[in-house]
Amino acid sequence: MTDAALHVHRYGDSAGDPVVLLHGVAGHGARWRRMAERYLADRRVLAPDLRGHGRSQHEPPWTVEQHIADVLATLDLDGIERADVVGHSYGGMIALHLARAAPRRVRRLVLLDPAIGVDPARAGERAREHMTQASFGDAAEARASGAARWPEASDEAVDDEVAEHLQHLPDGRLRWRYEPAAIVAAYSDMARPHVPPPVGVPTHLVIAAQADLVRPEFVVDCRTALGPGLTLTEIDAGHMLYVDRPDETGALLSAWLGEDAGGR
């Protein structure tokens, strides 16, 4: 793996239209597997582990700009000139800034409850929570922690998280596979003033109604900047839309990304 390359989980039809799925903080690309297999089976799906997460390199820098460079390098290595991009939470912030930095590389943009322009006090509180990473004595303890964190997730989603995202420490304990310092840096990025997606990139903003994360002023600025190029949907769910409401979220992605798919 080169310095710029990410570990990428691949799903769907390698001959299909490409779509990139970006996870949020402390996550990994394999969280998208079941949704990709059920709702994007006809697409060429790339779901990278972001820098500092999963099986990608964990070394800094962990800035939005570096994440953008990593994703673009991944597209280049795969010979993909243009793709649909879907981002959840911090992945939504990266997706938006990717579209602004390289609008010709992004066909359509889906922002799933994006963490953009987060209240600085809230971002700081969450960053400090991640400065010390929890560890577990065994997989059962880790699973119980994951289930408590995702009370609306299916059993299979929690089982997948344990199977994919745990790593062994030298002392024999287990922890989730991410770099805590990268998470702290991500929350600092989330507190940046928000900017709207670029004009000319059709954007679907999906708000998790129970999360209270997407700020009204961001929505207003998106409407002003994009006009009819913005689609807005609200789902009655917590922040982890694609974990808590996989069927509703998956059907939305399949339908919206499928519109005019052949007319590039």
Beta-carbon contacts of 219 under 8 Å, excluding residues fewer than 6 positions away, are 205, 207, 232
d(CA 50, CA 68): 10
pLDDT(1) > 50: no
Domain boundaries, the chain: 8-123+192-258
Confidence of residue 5 (pLDDT cuts 50, 70, 90): confident
**260 confidence band (pLDDT: 50, 70, 90):** low
**Which residue matches tokens 């994919």?**
164
Sign of CA dihedral 171, 174, 175, 179: positive
pLDDT at 90: 98
Instruction: Determine the length of the chain.
Output: 264
**pLDDT at 10 (0 to 100):** 97
Q: Which pair of tokens denotes residue 157?
A: 């989603």
Report which of 157, 176, 179, 178 is spatially closest to residue 167, judged by C-alpha positions. Answer: 176
Tens digits of per-residue pLDDT, 35-67?
999 999 999 999 999 999 999 999 999 999 999
Please list the residues that pair with 110 across neighbouring strands: 86, 204
Residues marked as catalytic: 89, 221, 239
**How many Å apart are CA 130 and CA 141, to the nearest integer?**
19
pTM for this prediction? 0.96
Average pLDDT over residues 226-246: 96
Q: Which fold has domain 8-123+192-258?
A: Rossmann fold (3.40.50)
- pLDDT tens for each residue of 81-140: 999 999 999 999 999 999 999 999 999 999 999 999 999 999 999 999 999 889 999 999
